[in-house]
Every structure is written in C-alpha cells, then in structure tokens.
Amino acid sequence: MKRMTTKNPKTNLENLMNYAFAKDGVACLRYANGKEDVPLHEYVAYLCADKKCDVTQEDILEDGLVDCYDCPIAILYYLGCQAAENNARLMRYEDSDSSLND
C-alpha cells in the first residue's frame, strides 16, 4: 500500500491529502497568501482583518474563534485544524507501519 502522508507532496492527490499539516504543534497550510507553510492562525487572522473583524492572531490561538461559531472563516479554521491533526496522526501511524512504501 502507498502512503497517504508526505512532507513533500508532488501530485495533486498528495497536495490535497497533505495541504493542512502540523509543524511544531501548529496547524499550517502548504500554500496561502502567496507563501508556503503558512501557520493557519496567521492566515485566518489575515482573512478576519480583510473582513474587518476585530480578531487577532492571539485571539485565535487563545480561544479558537469560539465566539464566531457561525462565521465561514471560523468553520474553515476548525476544519483546517482537524485536517492537520488527522494528517499528523496518520503520518505517525504510517511511519510505524513497515509495509507502507513511499
């Protein structure tokens, strides 16, 4: 069986499966705002500022946008966090399974 996780995606499927990932305990996006490996909370703060919301990066890290539960940006933030966590767990599993090849 082929791995689903990689730190260097090359195909469209690999990019999709590894777009959100954990780096030093922080959820990140492969590409956002014309940059690579962007911390999700920084990108979400940028989107909130663009929407004229009164939310900072610190707010996002502290409470995770709990007061914005119906905002599309908050929903995408939570989905990105979930994807990064799932990616990290799957990567640990795949790293421990010697039957998987890169």
Distance of alpha carbon 24 from alpha carbon 26, whole angstroms: 6
Q: Where are the beta strands (DSSP E) in the chain?
A: 20-23, 26-32, 35-39
85 or 100, greater pLDDT: 85
Q: What's the pTM value of the predicted model, to 2 decimals?
A: 0.85
* pLDDT value, residue 102: 56
Distance of alpha carbon 51 from alpha carbon 73, whole angstroms: 10
* pLDDT value, residue 55: 84
Distance of alpha carbon 26 from alpha carbon 29, whole angstroms: 10
Per-residue pLDDT reduced to its tens digit, 19-49: 999 999 899 999 999 999 999 999 999 999 9
